[in-house]
Structure 1
Amino acid sequence: MNHLMRDLAPLSAAAWEEIDTEARQRLTPQLGARAVVDWAGSGGGWKRSAANLGRTARLAGPPPGVSGDVRVQQRRVLPLAEVRVPFTVDRTELDGAERGALDLELDDLARAARLLAEIENRAVFHGWPEAGFHGILAGAPHGVAKLGADAADYPVTIARAVETLRIAGVEGPYALAADPETYTRIAESNEGGHLLVEHLTQILGGKVVFVPGMDGAAVLSQRGGDFVLDVGQDVAVGYSHHDADTVSLYLEESFAFRLVEPDAACALG
């Protein structure tokens, strides 16, 4: 990962370890889309440019000046998108890491982690037209009802979504991906002394997932093969530049999202 230029940064091994650990801790609970789609990080890292679609496009003919009975095609691929989110770290905090401080102020890293997670989650669920990614919610042909403000209605609505997928021939188990507002409403609700989230996981046969950056919710099949997040380089921290007071770093990843089977999701608003 030499392109990250980490060896040029005025950071010690202890400081890098602290920053990497903080980045993982911040990102893990926020990269919600990864919990409900297939991971297809097939290697290649930063050098990898595209995901194979297994399709071809017919070309009009062979190169100019060549004639004859020939069939020519070109492989189709989906280019990976590169995402870089900059952040800064105060050099006094880096000095603290050298002294063994455990309470470093890395608020700007937390902001960058939230933003990167929202970009990836939103690309998966709402699409990224300029990058050629089709989102799960935009592609879902099934719609039952929007999850409103009354969480008491959620079990019935989600059960209908599950039944809709089953009738369409889409097997489970299923998961519920929910935006922050919906997820919080579920987490704070109970039915007769029992947590609502426990009832919903029984209906789904799977989990309820918190997805920052998503608008609304969706029930998705977890049978596999329907939604593919294809990662070239997973999220990493790189170095940009520094001055006397701050060090400028960034979070970076490359990925593509493929909506293989739109029928495997049911949008809920």
Structure 2
Amino acid sequence: MTTVTTGNVSDHLLRGLAPIPTTAWKEIDDEARERLTPLLAARRLADWVGPGGWTHSSASLGRTTALDGPPPGVSVEGVVTRQRRVLPLAEFRVPFTVDRREIDDVQRGAADPEFDDLARAARQAAEIENRAVFHGWPEAGIEGIAAVSPYPSVELGTDCQQYPGIVARAVDTLRRNGIEGPYALVIAPSGYTRIVESTEHGGYLLFDHLKRILGGSIVWAPGVDGAVVVSQRGGDFLLDVGQDLSIGYSHHDADTVHLYLEESFTFRVVEPDAAVALS
């Protein structure tokens, strides 16, 4: 998992034009990093590629498409022409605002700045990345882990006493298809809450039981529908990032500074067999 690289990492963010002193910028960056890190579930499971920077525009697929021949007017016998295939990166911006009075208070030494709109933007940014990784983003050419899994989707339901059997069968499916562990259960917040609040007969914690079955982790994942059991062996899922999550400046008025969280990325499932979707 990579850390969130909020900060003045690219000129196009125009941070130098914002009426925000250095101390306040540090507080804003630190708050964004603190909010984002626990929310970015996909980064705990996918292999990290990058960051390649704002000008990184595509990921190589390592494949080619045949062309009809050389440019018009060139006639050479036996020439083979092909075009490299790439997956373009998608980018997004989530706007938020900061009250200029809060910026002034930070400069005065306030240790508890109120950046509530930043917290909201961080949740939305994390959900965009998580959802693209696990459920896909068709318009951006991204196929999600759950969407391309070749196994029949299994209904998880809300009866936590059934979870060990369901997860064990999903793990067995992966193992029988040559997918090694450890394994992780990536689950929506509501399902995660049910797990941590539940005990089994004899008082044994359901959370601990599931971790023993998986041999890996249970991941709280905002933006995910249902759950997915995935291998954590590595090499099956690639998150290719250009501009890592960073804060940029848009404009300001007498009372408010308008900022945004920005990221560019794409995602590839290398091995569809490495995940089982639980609806």
Tell me the TM-score range normalised by the shorter chain: over 0.9
Q: Please identify, of 193-202 and 5-14, the stretch whose mean Cα deviation from structure 2 is larger.
A: 193-202
Deviation for aligned residue 1:59: 0.7
Tell me whether 1:210 sits opposite 2:246 in the alignment: no
Tell me whether 1:2 sits opposite 2:11 in the alignment: yes
* 1:19-63: CA deviation from partner (whole Å, max 9, x where unpaired): 00110111111111111111112x431111011111111111110
Q: 2:84 aligns with which of 75, 86, 93?
A: 75
1: CA distance, partners of 2:152 / 2:229: 10
Q: Secondary structure at the match of 1:228?
A: strand
RMSD over aligned CA atoms reads 1.0
- Aligned residue in 2 for 1:255: 265
Structure 1 unaligned residues grouped into runs of 5+: none
Tell me whether 1:13 sits opposite 2:16 in the alignment: no
Pairing of 1:155-234 with structure 2 (within 5 A)? 155-191=164-200, 192-234=202-244
Pairing of 1:44-193 with structure 2 (within 5 A)? 44-69=52-77, 70-143=79-152, 145-191=154-200, 192-193=202-203
2: CA distance, partners of 1:228 / 1:180: 24
* 1:209-247: CA deviation from partner (whole Å, max 9, x where unpaired): 011111010100111111111111110111111000000
1: CA distance, partners of 2:196 / 2:148: 28
1: CA distance, partners of 2:267 / 2:156: 26
Identity rate of aligned residues, in percent? 66
2: CA distance, partners of 1:64 / 1:91: 61
The answer to whether the 8 A contact 2:52-2:241 is kept is no
Q: Secondary structure at the match of 1:39?
A: strand
Q: Secondary structure at the match of 1:34?
A: helix
- Aligned residue in 2 for 1:235: 245
Structure 2 unaligned residues grouped into runs of 5+: 1-9
The answer to whether the 8 A contact 1:85-1:251 is kept is yes
* 1:94-114: CA deviation from partner (whole Å, max 9, x where unpaired): 001101111111111011001
Deviation for aligned residue 1:144: 5.7
Amino acid at match of 1:233: Q
Q: Secondary structure at the match of 2:98?
A: strand
The answer to whether the 8 A contact 1:232-1:255 is kept is yes
The answer to whether the 8 A contact 2:89-2:264 is kept is yes
1: CA distance, partners of 2:99 / 2:269: 41
2: CA distance, partners of 1:196 / 1:96: 45
2: CA distance, partners of 1:58 / 1:90: 55
The answer to whether the 8 A contact 1:39-1:228 is kept is yes
1: CA distance, partners of 2:130 / 2:52: 22
2: CA distance, partners of 1:267 / 1:187: 21
- Aligned residue in 1 for 2:3: none
Deviation for aligned residue 1:193: 2.5
TM norm structure 1: 0.97
The answer to whether the 8 A contact 1:38-1:227 is kept is yes
List structure 1 runs of 4+ shifted beyond 4 angstroms: none
